[in-house]
Structure 1
Amino acid sequence: MTLGQPRDPHEDRSGAQHVPPQPGGRRYEHLYLHVPFCARRCSYCDFAIAVRRDVPWHQFAQAVSRECEIRRVGECSGMLRTVYLGGGTPSRLGADGVAATLHALRDHVAWTDDAEVTLEANPEDISADVVARWRAAGVNRLSIGIQSFDDLVLSWMHRVHDAAGAATAVREARRGGMVDFSLDLIFATPDRLARDWAADLERAIALEPAHISLYGLTVEPQTPLGRWHARGQEQEAPEERYEREFLLAHETLRAAGYEHYEVSNFARPGHRARHNSAYWRGVPYLGLGPSAHGFDGRTRRWNRDAFTAWERALGTLTDPIGGEEMLTSENQLAEQVYLGLRTVDGLAVSTVEVAHVDAWRRAGWVEVVDDAGGARLVCTPHGWLRLDSLAADLTAFRSRS
């Protein structure tokens, strides 16, 4: 299967070659800031996080400002159209910490009046007062990590909130004036949990979010789940149920008025995630914060993973870069195909490529759409379940053509 657990949208899939830093740059319109702090590590999580009881938000905001100075963010950025605080759990910064962090960014770079400014938040951090203060600081979109409305599943995931708290968080977000928010859910949990996926979908729909993201659970080695699996204490959901739950989500959410516009994402009309959509179009973006990746259209760089190592480098006025690599022409081709097939916008294809994928069309995995711009190849939900193999096949065909 190809959908996997929640991943950073800026995670590298290319296997690209390492190259020395490149001179020059471009005017970025999208910025990702990784906020590493969490109350605890979830059972499935292999992200770069820092578990802290007391979050050092003053230090974090100061370090963000230093990274902007050292990397001359103001000189390489235009007016930002999207700003995304991901993690980790950015809501752990609290009202004051989010305000201080956004203020630190604004000291170096400006964004448009209609910029999408997203904050990832966990339910236990949300109250009407805090949300109102986030809004006053500039946040206009929340991505809320619900994951499930089943208390047993939430406990197994090591989540802090319970099902009642999830629903309360959405109500509090609305009371605080937040209109645009997304809910995250995870599907394909182990059979023994007897999770009612259909009920979770219905409860999410009942909260009337503008956007819903769904991620299939996968086992990553360096996680609690990975260790349970290695010891034989836990089993992955069978592929048949993974596929069944994905397709059920597609049908249920479409019937409720959501557009399935990307393999893992559903939106009400006009509410596609603008920041993540930039990733899927291959648009350059800045990445700040520990472990954050950035992309200039050809070269991908990433920062040191650990919060302490990232902060220590900045304290000595050193670029906290962890590595850098340039996409080869082969990498660029692979990414163009893979990203194109991820969304309902599809991938422009030639007449000979249409002939090549005819067996896929007959199998119900893709549709060929003809419009004024030519033919486009669009995956169906059944095709998205085979995304990796379809993209690899078409990439290989293009490379030979």
Structure 2
Amino acid sequence: MKGNLSYSEQTELVQRSSWELLSKVPEVTIFFWIIKVLCTTVGETFADFLNLNLGFGLMNTTIIIGVAFFIVLYLQFRVNKYVPGIYWLTVVLISVFGTLVTDNMTDNMGIRLEVSTIIFSVLLGLTFLFWYLSEKTLSIHSIYSKKREVFYWLTILFTFALGTAVGDLYSEQLGFGYLKTGLTVIVIIACIFLLWKMKLNGILAFWIAYILTRPLGASLGDYLSQPKANGGLGLGTTVTSVIFIVAILAIIMYLAVSKIDITAKNETVVKNGNKKNVLVQTIVVLCMFLVLGVGSYIWRSNQIASQSDSSQTTIAGQLSDFINIENDILKSINSNEFSTAKKIADDLEHQWDTQEPRLRAIDGNTWTEIDGTIDVVLASVRSSNPDANKCKSALTNSLSVINSANK
């Protein structure tokens, strides 16, 4: 699927001088999509690795990745042509940074995923709008100027942030799970591919697929890295990140040598006569996604609500299992049995995520507060070099909050 034109569009080839033909992005080949999914997966697992395994915490991880991202983005703007290593490193870092932006909004700022989804949808839509009004095209094969490149990377950032919000909303908050969410996204992408074959506008199809590969990669990363008790394969964030980073490097080296993803020295331009058709297609597709997305959200929310006691207005009395689990972790820490503590922490995360849809539906504010303390517990216990005092402090604080909410 290429992000340029559909079969129905009449085109003309515009020859440009050599300096104009140095596109800053790669040709959309099968390798483009493979690396895109791999980068997305790394964005999910590497952020968790820094945040939880190394114990940096969400804010410090965001700062570190943010600095690295802007340095590499500066290099990307400095080069005057597509350089595989720099371009894909930028994509990897922007995927991690976009993930962390959404995570910070959810965990540190208490913004609900529904709100984050709306915010990033609007920002993405406005970026597309201003990009088109300014440049009269959204094709990635037209990234020949700094202005277009700014629009391009803003779009990429918002697609990752939006994909994170949507993926977390459906896989975690609504309880669909990693595997079901991933399979659902695959089916939707397959439908978009078929529609593209049936003359859906190529640029529209490209950006839809680009957005959808974010929750696909995130679901794949979570499925591979999460413990088996959580519905994953139990590879862990470290192993999963290493596997995918090695795969990304191997493909980048191949592309750098083969140069098969260098864009052709022609730009395809859409004639004005097709604008109405593209606009109609865009409106229809957006309406379809809106109906399906909102419809499934309402259906699942009602299903969760029906499983809960309608008279229940607090989560008091429903947190005893989590108190017991955290006390078990504390006992292991006091005995310096950190490996045991980490295993129990996996169980804590699984149980908490499993109960999220029901508990959050009853009292979202209290759930968010407890979720924040549990995140700190998981980060401290799972650190590569766990500090007993930090673990005890995190557990004491979390137990205090949970006990208070359970009364």
Do the structures match in fold with TM over 0.5? no
Counting strand residues as a fraction of each chain, which structure ranks higher? 1
Please state which band the TM-score falls in when normalised by the shorter chain: under 0.3
Counting helix residues as a fraction of each chain, which structure ranks higher? 2
In terms of Rg, which structure is larger? Answer: 2
TM-score (structure 2 length as normaliser): 0.25
TM-score (structure 1 length as normaliser): 0.25
